[in-house]
Amino acid sequence: MKKYKIALIKGDGIGPEIIDEAVKVLDSVASCCGFDIAYTEAFMGGCAYDITGDPLPQETINISLSSDAVLFGAIGGEKWDNLPREKRPESGLLRFRKELGVYANLRPAVVYDELINASSLKPSIVKGVDLMVVRELIGGIYFGEPKGRDENRGWNTMVYTRDEIIRIAHQAFKIAMTRKKKVCSVDKANVLDVSQLWREVVIEVSKEYPEIELTHMYVDNAAMQLIRDPRQFDVILTGNIFGDILSDEASMLSGSIGLLPSASVGAKIGVYEPIHGSAPDIAGQGIANPIATIASVSMMLRYAFGEIIAADKIDSAIKRALSEGYRTKDLAQYDAKEVCSTSEMGSIIANYIER
């Protein structure tokens, strides 16, 4: 029997509650689909700081790098907000992504029919939206040199190398091959030299994927098109800063932060996590929505392990729970037949999988 090693990082706030439900669902899909999971728990964030004085202990990096994937909850909270910057949970998370070399951030935005009224856009615009933003994560203007400031000037440099563009482009094309086979590369090639190189290299890489329909769009137009007609997109491939902005914009199409998963992947390993934070305002009350984390498990099975049937089973079970009217408190105003707790939602989804 196949066995996958997973590093489990629950973190702070609602992190432990949502990860427990994700594990419940993962165990049920593993037993249905005939594979085994070995979990190793590791600590990160405020809880790790409280125990070790470091928000990212070396042991957590070691456990993660010796696993097949990392399932991550969320970190942070007011209790740690006044620590020196390098001791804060959020610094631990940035360091973690860098240590693991995760260069591609995958952010799907899916609009569930049952929650169409939760979107801030009209149902006629968002019905059927199912897109994925593939964002380069460890290059571009956030990391480029030179950068600096004096009293009267501030400067950053947007730089991409051919190799950085090649590896993120492959990632986007491979994902598109498992979807509708469309990639829209977003850049600012009418103004930026770095974007001209980006476009040239993306076109070169696309020759290895003849089945993919590749288009290009300037980022200002892409920001508008996402609101005007989001259904035109399948995979959006873009750099760090453009992806940062567009993926947040895309996430609002679905209307709820508690629904959206993400993956950050690299050559060695991937980190699978909800897009939301640790929600300290609702921690410990059993009302957090676990669906974003459960959907992150589906991404892990699909992209890290190639367990497509298992991933599809999770996605269908989530849809079924929503279509039968089960809602956690955050979505209670959208056609709820029954408002359930975090743990009840996990059990409902796990039961659908077992059936």
Nearest residue (CB) to ligand NAD, 36 versus 281: 281
349 binds ligand NAD (CB under 6 A): no
Residue range at the interface with ligand NAD (CB under 6 A); choices 75-83, 134-142, 199-207, 215-223: 75-83
Q: Are residues 271 and 263 in contact, defined by beta-carbon separation less than 8 angstroms?
A: yes
Nearest residue (CB) to ligand NAD, 32 versus 241: 241
Q: Are residues 343 and 287 in contact, defined by beta-carbon separation less than 8 angstroms?
A: no
- Which of residues 8, 71, 74, 137 is near ligand NAD by CB under 6 A? 74
- Which of residues 278, 334, 350, 353 is near ligand NAD by CB under 6 A? 278
Other CB atoms closer than 10 Å to residue 100's CB: what's the count? Answer: 20
Residue range at the interface with ligand NAD (CB under 6 A); choices 35-43, 55-63, 223-231, 276-284: 276-284
Q: How far is the CB of 283 from ligand NAD (least distance, A)?
A: 9
Q: Are residues 187 and 216 in contact, defined by beta-carbon separation less than 8 angstroms?
A: yes
Please provide residue 308's backbone torsions phi and psi, each rounded to the nearest 5 degrees: -65, -40
Grouping H, G, I as helix, E, B as strand and the rest as coil, residue 301 is helix
Q: Are residues 129 and 273 in contact, defined by beta-carbon separation less than 8 angstroms?
A: no
Q: How far is the CB of 282 from ligand NAD (least distance, A)?
A: 4
Nearest residue (CB) to ligand NAD, 238 versus 251: 251
Nearest residue (CB) to ligand NAD, 14 versus 304: 14
Q: How far is the CB of 111 from ligand NAD (least distance, A)?
A: 18
How far apart CA 93 and CA 73 sit, in angstroms, is: 11
Nearest residue (CB) to ligand NAD, 254 versus 278: 278
User: Which segments of 229-341 does DSSP mark as H helices, in order?
Assistant: 240-254, 291-299, 308-323
Q: How far is the CB of 88 from ligand NAD (least distance, A)?
A: 8
How far apart CA 37 and CA 117 sit, in angstroms, is: 37
Q: State both tokens at 38.
A: 């070995």
Residues facing residue 2 across a β-bridge = 35
230 binds ligand NAD (CB under 6 A): no
257 binds ligand NAD (CB under 6 A): yes
Residues marked as catalytic: 142, 188, 220, 244, 248
DSSP string, 26-38: HHHHHHHHTEEEE
- Which of residues 219, 250, 253, 282 is near ligand NAD by CB under 6 A? 282
What residues between 84 and 143 interact with ligand NAD by CB under 6 A?
Answer: 90, 93
Q: Which stretch of DSSP H or E encloses residue 273?
A: strand 270-274
Residue range at the interface with ligand NAD (CB under 6 A); choices 73-81, 165-173, 300-308, 315-323: 73-81
How far is residue 268 CA from its own chain's centroid?
A: 17
Residue range at the interface with ligand NAD (CB under 6 A); choices 53-61, 74-82, 140-148, 162-170: 74-82
Q: Which of 344, 237, 301, 315 is nearest to 68 (CA)?
A: 301
330 binds ligand NAD (CB under 6 A): yes
How far apart CA 262 and CA 219 sit, in angstroms, is: 22
Residues that bind ligand NAD (CB under 6 A): 14, 74-77, 90, 93, 257-258, 276-282, 288-289, 292, 330
